[in-house]
Structure 1
């Protein structure tokens, strides 16, 4: 049988599949998830991800601290992930029924099709194990590794050889129609337990008050007991919210309709970028450094990450183009905003245990907002964070994400999924990059008996040639880039730009803090 040639020249031999007996009866008192005839409509967003230009996937890599215990992984997946309603269903469309919409239909899960151990050979993995992992995970985005839609759309790839950061690597690939990034990350963490307490679920960081300020969560409420001045201030904030929303919605509509868009730069992908494979690279940075900047600047972690991203992209842009230092340009990122309350880990664990929804809201429910990134050369590195803070606070005073979700839902109902896909395509085609930031557990977690040392999520299948994902876990923050290698042949140099930008911003924040202390 012929070998498959992956990215970077690495040969991907036929995967060794874990054999598993799915014929064993369920323990007494338990209910199996395979029930013929159980159906559920696919959400509008899930239907969007069936369209050719939006066949998007999430790829999440985990570094584990010990060699992978395959029997434990098999048993753990069978008892958790494989029992989740989405992970044991396929999308079915009745072509004989006019105007039929796809449905999720339960099917029997054969883990031989989903748990994959590729035989890369000792030569490939010992010479440069980091590159072997990078090449294999990147190869998942190639056409030759496309998923079979007659099966549940997920796979777990086990790369059981050591790298500098981990004893082994596990990569989970999931079709985006199964859920949004926040829901999928919560589900994965619900499959884990705390390393210091194997019987306890980990705790996700609760969003602080400052992070949840803004109309993405609630409209401003009038003061219960206040004078005329307070009421006037409330009325002004409400009018400001309306004005910002109108401006943002008009800009979003013009972008989606291709009436305005970002100019072509070294950062912006070419037409058809969604069909090209991606190179997945990542870098581990210090979360303590990010928090030190946050505390010194009086902003949020997300503000710092946006500022670091702006600084790094500026370094990369001016190095690649050689343009004058005095120039300043603006590029825009499509930022996905989760609008559904994140499912609780206990509820998700119970869902997998029972194989039923149990009233837990699941799927894709998100809106988009367009976030500008300013590219420039500043003498003061902290200026990137100041500008980022100003932009993000302005965006929090807008209902852009809620409106885009509502309007997309209305377009689907009135004009159909093709019209919604066309508008979404316009929005991605006329912006430059994608950006996300997810918070993970603060304590170490264990997945199927295997301690996790890092979590690195990313995605592919959309029109952007550059996607940035930030993921915090314990005391680190993982930066994952998904790049079109034809556009970004120097992805590791771009990672270096992020490392250097954070170093400079951290140093400048320390100096600023010292000046403040001396002044006091």
Structure 2
């Protein structure tokens, strides 16, 4: 079999400005046996996928290709036997991840672009995978194919199929008013996206990043939410979990900015988030067999678009907690009517194909510098699972640093959702407090809902 060219998105993530590594963090209940892990890797579905058994090579024109190679497991497994510092497990793991987030050069092109780090003292396993290999949906689906249900050791985890977001947004897609609204929102959001590429940027606040911030030292904290609390809140205004998530971010950031700049910020200041949207026809996680079919609409790789999600600062001591949710729902409902995510994907693909990855990466970098934070949300398994016979206690994810001083990655698992709060520590020195602001925001919304029942 000959070399296979990289996809346009894969080439984008190899550029210096957009070099990205995904970290999937797995907490385990029992101590880790290194030889068992290596054996599981050798027999895993991961090594049946050509992306994980190929080198990234460049031809004489500098164009990247995948070339099949033999895997040497020892080169891909990094064993850390001693405890990371003197902190408790969660802080130690987050400290280790913060170091990895600015160490993108560690994934050498001399071997396939993935590693597994074993933190033995903390019973934690970290998959380190270059974004050129695939997006969060692809990689989480790959991980789950290697796991089994805790209460049924021979059964694969249940894949939760979600309805299409566009289908949920349209009650009568063929009505004239819906068509006009969709066209209007497409125009407005496409124009906003283009202007962000050119010169429009968020106002400077205590959480703003900018060019070069991706190189600054990082800190990571974890905000933990109960999925049942999120479901309780979302029923108050017939919202979705994503609506609740953005309401929590909006309220939590307002709380934090009240603390950092109590008198220096005007009410209503916009902070724009950059969200990644899965563009596969079937939302949520996928069966690995579908992802690996070349003719599948759910195909493997990087199949996502970007949307701009504005939130607004409001003094937290004067705002009704549920107002954040109502504003978030209204904004996201409008986004669902538009084709912004598809538009951004098509524009990126066009730029990559016509002027090349260098210009495309500069365009993406500019959008990042003009917005305030990045957010992603992956729906994980809703039941307890195990890997290699070892029960999983938590699933988390984060990625390499970006020009943003604030990066938020949420993964749900077995009734709870963990959001990794990654910050540039010279801009946001106290991510633990910011994480608590997010947690308190959800609890306050829940209290407001239950008080009205």
Give the TM bin, normalised by the shorter chain: over 0.9
**Against the structure 1 CA distance between its residues 247 and 203, is the aligned structure 2 distance closer, same or farther, given a 3 Å change threshold?**
same
Structure 2 counterpart of 1:178, from 118, 121, 133: 133
Does 1:62 pair with 2:4?
no
Q: Give the structure 1 partner of residue 7 of structure 2.
A: 43
Aligned to 2:399, the other structure's residue is in SS state strand
8 Å Cα contact 1:282/1:456 also seen in 2: no
Pairing of 1:373-452 with structure 2 (within 5 A): 373-377=311-315, 378-452=318-392
**Against the structure 1 CA distance between its residues 341 and 188, is the aligned structure 2 distance closer, same or farther, given a 3 Å change threshold?**
farther
8 Å Cα contact 1:46/1:364 also seen in 2: yes
Structure 2 counterpart of 1:192, from 147, 153, 169: 147
8 Å Cα contact 1:336/1:369 also seen in 2: yes
Does 1:92 pair with 2:57?
yes
8 Å Cα contact 1:139/1:145 also seen in 2: no
Q: Deviations over 1:480-509 (max 9, x none)?
A: 111111111101111111111111111001
Q: Deviations over 1:222-271 (max 9, x none)?
A: 3xxxxxxxxxxx122112111110111111001112x2111221111132
Q: Which of the two has higher C-alpha Rg? A: 1
Q: Give the structure 1 partner of residue 243 of structure 2.
A: 303
Give the Cα separation in 1 of the matches to 2:362 and 2:419.
Answer: 30
Displacement of 1:205: 2.2
Q: Give the structure 2 partner of residue 140 of structure 1.
A: 100
Q: Deviations over 1:66-104 (max 9, x none)?
A: 11233332122112223321111121111x24xx52111
Q: Unaligned stretches of 5+ in structure 1? A: 1-36, 163-167, 223-233, 515-520
Give the Cα separation in 1 of the matches to 2:356 and 2:165.
Answer: 38
**Against the structure 1 CA distance between its residues 272 and 431, is the aligned structure 2 distance closer, same or farther, given a 3 Å change threshold?**
same
Give the Cα separation in 1 of the matches to 2:231 and 2:22.
Answer: 27
Does 1:241 pair with 2:179?
no
Q: Deviations over 1:373-428 (max 9, x none)?
A: 11112431111111111111111110011111111111122222222122111111
Q: Deviations over 1:84-130 (max 9, x none)?
A: 21111121111x24xx5211111111111111111325xx5666333
**Against the structure 1 CA distance between its residues 444 and 38, is the aligned structure 2 distance closer, same or farther, given a 3 Å change threshold?**
farther
**Against the structure 1 CA distance between its residues 358 and 39, is the aligned structure 2 distance closer, same or farther, given a 3 Å change threshold?**
farther
Give the Cα separation in 2 of the matches to 1:127 and 1:252.
Answer: 42
Aligned to 1:462, the other structure's residue is in SS state coil
Displacement of 1:214: 3.8
Pairing of 1:117-128 with structure 2 (within 5 A): 117-120=79-82, 128=88
8 Å Cα contact 2:351/2:360 also seen in 1: yes
Q: Give the structure 2 partner of residue 5 of structure 1.
A: none
Deviates more, 1:323-332 or 1:441-450: 323-332
Give the Cα separation in 1 of the matches to 2:94 and 2:105.
Answer: 15
Aligned to 1:497, the other structure's residue is in SS state helix
Does 1:328 pair with 2:277?
no
Corresponding residue pairs, total: 447
Q: Unaligned stretches of 5+ in structure 2? A: none
Does 1:83 pair with 2:83?
no
Aligned to 1:487, the other structure's residue is in SS state coil
Structure 2 counterpart of 1:367, from 292, 305, 312: 305
Displacement of 1:139: 1.7
Deviates more, 1:460-469 or 1:487-496: 460-469
**Against the structure 1 CA distance between its residues 334 and 379, is the aligned structure 2 distance closer, same or farther, given a 3 Å change threshold?**
closer
**Against the structure 1 CA distance between its residues 131 and 470, is the aligned structure 2 distance closer, same or farther, given a 3 Å change threshold?**
closer
Q: Give the structure 2 partner of residue 31 of structure 1.
A: none
TM-score by length of 2: 0.93
Give the Cα separation in 2 of the matches to 1:38 and 1:252.
Answer: 39
Q: Give the structure 2 partner of residue 3 of structure 1.
A: none
8 Å Cα contact 1:460/1:482 also seen in 2: no
Displacement of 1:443: 0.7
Give the Cα separation in 2 of the matches to 1:442 and 1:114.
Answer: 29
Give the Cα separation in 2 of the matches to 1:419 and 1:134.
Answer: 34
**Against the structure 1 CA distance between its residues 129 and 403, is the aligned structure 2 distance closer, same or farther, given a 3 Å change threshold?**
closer
Give the Cα separation in 2 of the matches to 1:380 and 1:304.
Answer: 14
8 Å Cα contact 1:297/1:509 also seen in 2: no
TM-score by length of 1: 0.81
**Once superposed, what is the RMSD of the aligned Cα atoms?**
2.3
**Against the structure 1 CA distance between its residues 415 and 125, is the aligned structure 2 distance closer, same or farther, given a 3 Å change threshold?**
closer
Give the Cα separation in 2 of the matches to 1:319 and 1:413.
Answer: 46
8 Å Cα contact 1:325/1:376 also seen in 2: no
Give the Cα separation in 2 of the matches to 1:119 and 1:340.
Answer: 40
**Against the structure 1 CA distance between its residues 102 and 171, is the aligned structure 2 distance closer, same or farther, given a 3 Å change threshold?**
same
Aligned to 2:138, the other structure's residue is in SS state helix
Give the Cα separation in 1 of the matches to 2:434 and 2:100.
Answer: 22
Aligned to 2:307, the other structure's residue is in SS state strand
8 Å Cα contact 1:201/1:345 also seen in 2: no
Displacement of 1:312: 0.4
Give the Cα separation in 1 of the matches to 2:350 and 2:227.
Answer: 40
Give the Cα separation in 2 of the matches to 1:486 and 1:363.
Answer: 34
Give the Cα separation in 2 of the matches to 1:452 and 1:211.
Answer: 33
